[in-house]
Structure 1
Amino acid sequence: MGAWDVGPFDNDTAADWCGDLDDAHPGDRTTLIRAALNRAADEDDYLDSDYACKAIAAAATLTAQLPGGQPIDSPYAPEFLRGGNRLKVPEDLAALAVRAIDRIMADDSEWRDLWQDATDGDTNAAFDAVHGLRTALSAVREGA
């Protein structure tokens, strides 16, 4: 049975990416995060939802590492983070994550199109979750 929900880890693609992050050597984890963010941020054509899902999970992983960041409680999130472990996050990743989120929310994004179609009236919990990540990461980027 597949997973598809509004949380940043709560879909099959993100869950698989989180499994890869868990399996990676701890020293390689930021490289995987950077790769997921770059893949979305640098896409010039229509952004595939799989790349967006991975980048959103990467952004949420970063956000959880921020001072006062939201604890990760999704069963699909990286297991090592749910266990309380932390990552050393290079400062430039917050700006990259903001760029990736902006690309994901652009008009030529499959993820955006899928969730736009699934909206319930004026509320869109998936969009709200991504906007929340962007707000937290922007505060870091701006030194707030």
Structure 2
Amino acid sequence: MGTWDIGHFDNDTAADFSAAVDGTPAEERAGVLLASFRTVTGVGEEYLDSDEAVQAVAAAALVAAQCPGGDPVTSAYGPKEPLPALPVELRPVAVEALDRILTEPSELLELWGETRAVGEWKAGVQRLRAVLSGA
């Protein structure tokens, strides 16, 4: 994983995901986000690949940005095109995906666990979760 900072879009996979969202017609973007959540939640207790987790975290950040108290996505690596209003039904699915990402076996959790920034990374993901679950 080419990571250069702690933000939800500050890695190669999330930046590529943002480009894919931009390349999707506006009316299909919610489906792209939902698919990323379903990929993560669909692995059950099997090992969760970091690329799939990173995409779901980025997708969750996009959904959370439209929630009360959510932070706007201002990263240069986030989508360049504005997202349409997203269905509120994405919020609980995003929470479920974030919960799975923070549960072993999760490669992304392992990779961050090997760094000094693990606490800061977890806090960012938990902030997303709090915004999504409180909305």
Shorter chain as denominator, the TM-score bin is: over 0.9
Structure 2: distance between partners of 1:68 and 1:135: 10
Match of residue 124 from structure 1 = 119
Match of residue 6 from structure 1 = 6
Match of residue 102 from structure 1 = 99
Q: Which moved more, 1:22-31 or 1:85-94?
A: 85-94
Q: Which runs of 4+ in 1 moved over 3 A?
A: none
* Structure with max Cα Rg: 1
Structure 2: distance between partners of 1:52 and 1:86: 21
Q: Tell me by how many angstroms 1:137 deviates.
A: 0.5
Report if the CA contact (8 A) 1:65-1:86 is conserved.
no
SS of the residue 2:77 aligns to: coil
Counterpart selection for 1:88 from 71, 75, 85: 85
Count of paired positions:
133
Q: Tell me by how many angstroms 1:124 deviates.
A: 1.7
Q: Percent sequence identity over matched residues?
A: 39
Cα RMSD (Å) of the superposition? Answer: 1.4
Q: Tell me by how many angstroms 1:119 deviates.
A: 2.6
1:41 has 2:36 as partner = no
Q: Tell me by how many angstroms 1:43 deviates.
A: 1.1
Q: Could you list the runs of 5+ residues in structure 2 that have no partner in the other structure? A: none
